[in-house]
């Protein structure tokens, strides 16, 4: 009986059919048992055993994230070239495309949900601050193909005269600082703001966490919702907020209350939230002599000035940029600066979840490496080397099956250990320039045209005094 006409119950396994279902050594993290479980959970199992079973299609979609420059058939060739004499199918591009449509979005969404979560252990101090796990929330955008089947869901930016650019997908994630692991993620059309998406991530917060965020999240309703989860927060306030000094503290910060300005009949101005305010002048001096001084106003629910000094919190706030590093890894290192390849809405969503799953699996492999080598800092692991080594193992077809004894450091780990990056932070600013229309035109002349080293000086303003 031919494999494609056999039932799943009569022939549960077929080496020639399931052999392409792998992602190299990374298969030990995204193992077939896990993939089969999410397929069963989401009712995506094929009704008959095809030449492209659902499990194989899941791995194929994941492999697309490793080889953004390759076509469907090119990626399939990389999955099968290392299998030796094993007889496998040779599907055309349209067959692979139809297999993706049959699979749907749900299995990849469930797979990411299983892998998502914090990675750092309590021994890794880079991910903690005084017993609290430090996490950051931020948003970014991804570009999708300009197709009518996409723009109805993910529209383009609308200017004064016409639409322009690519369709935009807004992505908001909750990132563990230190390891840059994805704790949770949500995405959708750009017409919905980051705050609305951020509310959907609050279920992943708990009382053991400290949330970092930028000034965009300075909304009383959102901050109150964060406090209700038990998590503390530290974020930068907008210049529009003018808090009243209620209780000055010895380190120059002060306590006050914030509340919404929206009045509702019978409810007043809503719930007040007690916060601590830290105001400081931050001066950045570039290598070419350029200086820029800004006023920072930080809000936090860490009210104890003795346990949480102001200068410590100002330095801690810089970890928020690790969310930007996470996005750099997703958009530049994995996607290679390209737009998403899928040309339908379900395909786009499936591709994004695959992208997030691959990223999280690589971060978990880096976590295994730092567990096996406790003296190693997560900051010494190069994500670029990690991605390239994992892609090489896919082509070679190594590490597909788990061997005994199980080791935390495999071929990918040995490549990473041989190419560690310095742990010392490189104090430099990234070059930035305007590549397309920006909604922040006032920042066009405030960023250097090339990367430069810099020195940073911070001065806390006593009791919120601003000249």
Query: What pLDDT, on a 0 to 100 scale, did the predictor assign at position 13?
Result: 46
* φ, ψ dihedrals at 384, nearest 5°: -65, -45
Mean pLDDT taken over the chain: 86
Query: What pLDDT, on a 0 to 100 scale, did the predictor assign at position 150?
Result: 92
Encode the chain in three state secondary structure. Answer: CCHHHCCCCCCCCCHHHHCCCCECEHHHCCCHHHHHHHHHHCCCCCCCCCCCCHHHHHHHHHHHHHCCCCCHHHHHHHHHHHHCCCCCCCCCHHHHHHHHHHHCCHHHHHHHHHHCCCCCCCCCHHHEECCEEEEEEEEEEEECCCCHHHHCCCCCEECCCCEECCCEEEEEEEEECCCCEEEEEEEEECCCCHHHHHHCCHHHCCCCEEEEECHHHCCHHHHHHHHHCCCEEEEECCCCCCCCCCEECCCCCEEEEECCCCCECCCECCCCEEEEEEEEEEEEEECCCCEEEEEEEEEECCCCCCCCCHHHHHHHHHHHHHHHHHHHHHHHHHCCCCCCCCCCHHHHHHHHHHHHHHHHHHHHHHHHHHHHCCCCCHHHCCHHHHHHHHHHHHHHCCCCCCCCCCCCCCHHHHHHHCCCCCCCCCCEECCCCCCCCCCCHHHCCCCCCCCEEEEEEEEECHHHCCC
pLDDT digits (tens, 9 = 90+) for 176-220: 999 999 999 999 999 898 999 999 999 999 999 999 999 889 888
For residue 337, give every residue at least 6 positions away whose Cβ sits within 8 Å of its Cβ, in sequence order, or none.
331
**Residue that wins the pLDDT comparison between 45 and 264:** 45
For residue 268, give every residue at least 6 positions away whose Cβ sits within 8 Å of its Cβ, in sequence order, or none.
none
Extents of the domains making up the chain: 1-115+382-421, 116-327
What's the residue count for the chain? Answer: 467
| pLDDT for residue 120 is more than 70 | yes
**Residue that wins the pLDDT comparison between 461 and 414:** 414
**Residue that wins the pLDDT comparison between 260 and 139:** 139
Q: How confident is the model at residue 294 (pLDDT cuts 50, 70, 90)?
A: confident
Q: How confident is the model at residue 464 (pLDDT cuts 50, 70, 90)?
A: low
| pLDDT for residue 10 is more than 50 | no
| pLDDT for residue 446 is more than 80 | no
Query: What pLDDT, on a 0 to 100 scale, did the predictor assign at position 274?
Result: 92
**Going by DSSP bridges, is the β-strand pair 247-248/132-143 parallel, antiparallel, or unpaired?**
unpaired
| pLDDT for residue 457 is more than 90 | no
**Residue that wins the pLDDT comparison between 77 and 404:** 77
Query: What pLDDT, on a 0 to 100 scale, did the predictor assign at position 54?
Result: 94
Query: What pLDDT, on a 0 to 100 scale, did the predictor assign at position 254?
Result: 92
Query: What pLDDT, on a 0 to 100 scale, did the predictor assign at position 89?
Result: 86
Global pTM exceeds 0.95: no
pLDDT digits (tens, 9 = 90+) for 321-378: 899 999 999 999 999 989 999 999 999 999 999 999 999 999 999 999 998 898 888 8
Ranges 64-73, 291-300, 400-409: which has the least confidence: 400-409
Dmax of the chain from CA atoms? 85
CA-CA distances (angstroms) from residue 317 to 123, 136, 149, 212, 379?
Answer: 21, 10, 41, 7, 17
- For residues 261 and 275, is the Cβ–Cβ distance under 8 A? no
User: What interhelical angle do 93-103 and 54-66 show, nearest 10?
Assistant: 110
| pLDDT for residue 63 is more than 60 | yes
Query: What pLDDT, on a 0 to 100 scale, did the predictor assign at position 236?
Result: 93
Query: What pLDDT, on a 0 to 100 scale, did the predictor assign at position 434?
Result: 47
**Residue that wins the pLDDT comparison between 5 and 339:** 339
Q: How confident is the model at residue 5 (pLDDT cuts 50, 70, 90)?
A: very low
**Residue that wins the pLDDT comparison between 260 and 178:** 178
| pLDDT for residue 283 is more than 80 | yes
Query: What pLDDT, on a 0 to 100 scale, did the predictor assign at position 1?
Result: 31
CA atoms within 13 A on the CB side of 337: 1
């Amino acid at each position: 009986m031919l494999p494609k006409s056999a039932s799943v119950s009569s022939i549960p396994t077929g080496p020639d059919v399931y052999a392409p279902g792998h992602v190299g050594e990374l298969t030990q993290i995204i193992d077939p048992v896990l993939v089969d479980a999410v397929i069963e959970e989401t009712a995506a199992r094929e009704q008959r055993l095809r030449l492209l079973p659902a499990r194989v299609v899941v791995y194929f979609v994941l492999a697309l994230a490793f080889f953004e420059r390759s076509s469907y058939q090119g990626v399939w060739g990389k999955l099968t070239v290392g299998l030796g004499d094993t007889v496998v199918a040779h599907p055309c591009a349209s067959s692979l495309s139809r297999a993706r449509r049959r699979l749907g979005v749900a299995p990849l969404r469930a797979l990411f949900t299983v892998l998502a979560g914090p990675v750092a252990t309590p021994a890794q101090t880079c991910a903690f601050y005084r017993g609290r796990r430090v996490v950051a929330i931020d948003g970014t955008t991804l570009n999708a193909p300009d197709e009518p089947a996409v723009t109805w869901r993910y529209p383009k930016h609308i200017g004064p005269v016409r639409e322009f650019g690519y369709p935009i997908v807004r992505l908001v994630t909750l990132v563990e600082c230190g390891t840059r692991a994805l704790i949770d993620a949500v995405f959708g059309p750009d017409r919905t703001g980051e705050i609305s998406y951020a509310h959907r991530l609050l279920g992943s917060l708990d009382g053991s966490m400290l949330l970092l965020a930028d000034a965009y999240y300075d909304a009383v309703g959102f901050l109150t919702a964060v406090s209700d989860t038990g998590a503390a927060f530290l974020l930068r306030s907008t210049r529009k907020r003018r808090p009243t000094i209620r209780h000055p503290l010895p380190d120059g910060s002060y306590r006050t209350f914030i509340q919404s300005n929206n009045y509702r009949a019978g409810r007043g101005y809503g719930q007040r939230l007690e916060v601590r305010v830290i105001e400081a002048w931050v001066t950045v001096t570039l290598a070419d002599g350029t200086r820029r001084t800004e006023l920072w106003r930080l809000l936090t629910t860490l009210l104890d000035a003795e346990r949480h000094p102001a200068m410590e919190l100002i330095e801690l706030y810089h970890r928020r940029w690790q969310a930007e590093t996470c996005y750099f890894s997703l958009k530049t290192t994995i996607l290679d600066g390209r737009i998403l390849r899928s040309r339908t809405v379900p395909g786009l969503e499936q591709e994004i979840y695959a992208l997030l799953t691959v990223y999280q699996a690589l971060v978990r492999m880096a976590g295994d490496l730092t567990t096996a080598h406790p003296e190693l800092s997560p900051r010494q692991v190069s994500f670029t080397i990690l991605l390239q080594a994992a892609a090489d193992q896919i082509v070679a077809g190594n590490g597909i099956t788990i061997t005994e004894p199980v080791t935390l450091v495999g071929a990918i780990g040995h490549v990473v250990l041989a190419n560690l990056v310095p742990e010392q932070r490189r104090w430099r600013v990234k070059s930035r320039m305007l590549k397309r229309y920006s909604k922040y035109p006032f920042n066009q002349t405030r960023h250097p045209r090339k990367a430069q080293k810099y020195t940073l000086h911070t001065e806390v303003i006593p009791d919120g005094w601003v000249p």
